[in-house]
Amino acid sequence: MECQYRSSISAPNRKKMLDDLMKNHKLIGLKYNQLIDSLGEPNYLEDSIISYRITEDYGSDIDPVYVKTLQFSISRDSIVTSFKIKEWKK
């Protein structure tokens, strides 16, 4: 799978949904299509990594100063094998 960036449709509910998703839903073992049906199109795809942007803060600049994403690892069989929250600060 080649690297793809996807434009973000406003995702104001993702931050609120993250806690519920992590606590109350089985994510490991989902098929790729089930993940997309549940969460919508990801913001970023590369090889076996699928990422959803949760929060992005630009401060007073055009470049982000903080980014929080939910990142899934997908097997060759298109099954979610793991997930993690990644945070980046400038």
Quick one: pLDDT at residue 12?
Answer: 65
DSSP-derived pairing of the beta strands 44-46 and 49-57: antiparallel
Q: Which domain holds residue 61?
A: 4-89
Looking up residue 64, the CATH number of its domain turns out to be 3.30.1450
pLDDT at 86 over 50: yes
0.85 exceeded by pTM: no
Label residues 43-77 b or e (16+ Cβ within 10 Å = b). bbbeeeebbbbbeeeeeeeeeeeebbbbebebeee
Output the pLDDT for position 11: 58
Domain count, the chain: 1
Tens-place pLDDT, residues 8-63: 434 567 767 888 888 888 899 999 999 999 888 999 999 899 999 888 888 887 88
Residue found by looking up tokens 């104001």 in the block: 12
